[in-house]
């Protein structure tokens, strides 16, 4: 298949890093799997964001393991985990931190910055749509700039820095939905399904016995940063890049080559950030599978998570209950793979 052919031989040092990447990724997934039952695709999405420097928004009903997933991942990677419970009365300073007056040893008083919970590595922003837009924007500034500014002083955040924001799709009363421009800053939107009968049985078995399973450390922040560096070096063939661009343009109703469903039900299509998320995610999938190039299959696998939160449906689409994933499936069926 086009997109799976290496044009040049991979250097030996890259082969070593590639093997190390694939091995470390498998160890992380295996260790998290000792605690989390199922949700393999969700874990892949979270790891993709972590390894590409992006952030994810996770939608799912309460009680299906969102918090446990992030906490377990932080434990397996020996990273600092922070959970922020978003509520309507949460203020920006509750997230970023604030300056307080402290008494110095010589008796003088001075200002001292007390960092908030945003100063961690893996941040769980639980039910982000329950906070006011002012508070939401404080978190999103940290996500974009990797820093927070308090009293005209900028404080840098540590690396790796990853935010997983959650939304409950059932309880929408009294919430403040994220504006489209802010949603666009999340690399992926992941949909966490209710576990199956067998998975629920396994969850009960693991969590009600004498010993609850815990994850052990299999990597650290240095390993994650090295893996990020390798992701950026993976080459992407021009025809794979063009295919990704065509997919994104096909979500725009007025664009040439728009898919039938996009032309009928979409008001605004995905932004170029969608293409960036697809390519970066495709690089991680390639490295995970032991390849040093991005294939068309990687692009297709990344498209739903990278595009679903970037599509704005029109009135007809909303009235008919059209889901963004249905539009994306139509786009994938409509856009052909280009020749090499």
Residues 272-298: tens digit of each pLDDT? 999 999 999 999 999 999 898 899 999
Residue with tokens 């955040």: 157
Helices within 111-220 (DSSP H only): 133-145, 180-183, 197-207
Work out the pLDDT band at 172, boundaries 50, 70, 90: low
Question: Nearest-CA neighbor of 91 among 116, 74, 121?
Answer: 116
Q: 109: which strand partners? A: 103
Integer CA distances (angstroms), 103 to 97, 99, 153, in order: 19, 13, 20
Q: What is the mean pLDDT of the chain?
A: 86
Q: Among the listed ranges 38-47, 94-103, 166-175, 233-242, which one has the minimum average pLDDT value?
A: 166-175
Q: What pLDDT is recorded for position 133?
A: 86
Q: In this model, does residue 317 exceed pLDDT 80?
A: yes
Contact present, 65 and 71 (Cβ < 8 Å): no
């Amino acid at each position: 298949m086009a997109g799976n052919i290496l044009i040049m031989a991979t250097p030996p040092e890259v082969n070593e890093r590639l093997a190390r990447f694939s091995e470390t990724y498998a160890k992380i997934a295996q260790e998290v799997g000792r605690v989390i039952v199922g949700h393999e695709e969700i874990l892949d999405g979270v790891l993709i964001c972590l390894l590409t420097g992006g952030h994810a928004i996770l939608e799912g009903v309460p009680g299906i393991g969102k918090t446990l997933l992030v906490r377990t991942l932080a434990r397996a990677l020996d990273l600092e985990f922070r959970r922020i419970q978003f509520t309507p009365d949460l203020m920006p300073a509750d997230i970023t931190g604030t300056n307080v007056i402290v008494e110095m040893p010589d008796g003088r008083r001075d200002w001292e910055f007390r960092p908030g919970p945003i100063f961690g590595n893996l941040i769980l922003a639980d039910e982000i749509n329950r906070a006011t837009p002012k508070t939401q924007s404080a978190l999103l500034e940290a996500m974009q700039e990797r820093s927070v500014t308090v009293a005209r002083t900028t404080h840098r955040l540590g690396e790796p820095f990853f935010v997983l924001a959650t939304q409950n799709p059932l309880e929408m009363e009294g919430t403040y939905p994220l504006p489209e421009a802010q949603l666009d800053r999340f690399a992926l939107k992941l949909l966490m399904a209710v576990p199956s009968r067998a998975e629920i049985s396994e969850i009960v078995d693991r969590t009600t016995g004498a010993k609850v399973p815990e994850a052990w450390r299999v990597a650290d922040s240095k390993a994650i940063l090295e893996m990020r560096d390798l992701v950026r070096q993976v080459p992407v063939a021009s025809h794979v890049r063009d295919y990704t661009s065509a997919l994104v343009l096909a979500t725009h109703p007025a664009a040439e080559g728009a898919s039938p469903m996009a032309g009928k039900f979409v008001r605004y299509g995905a932004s170029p950030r969608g293409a960036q998320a697809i390519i970066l995610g495709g690089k991680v999938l390639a490295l995970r599978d032991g390849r040093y190039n991005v294939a068309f299959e990687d692009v297709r696998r990344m498209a739903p998570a990278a595009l679903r939160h970037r599509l704005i449906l029109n009135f007809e689409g909303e009235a008919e209950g059209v889901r963004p994933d249905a539009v994306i499936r139509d786009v994938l069926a409509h856009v052909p793979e280009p020749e090499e």
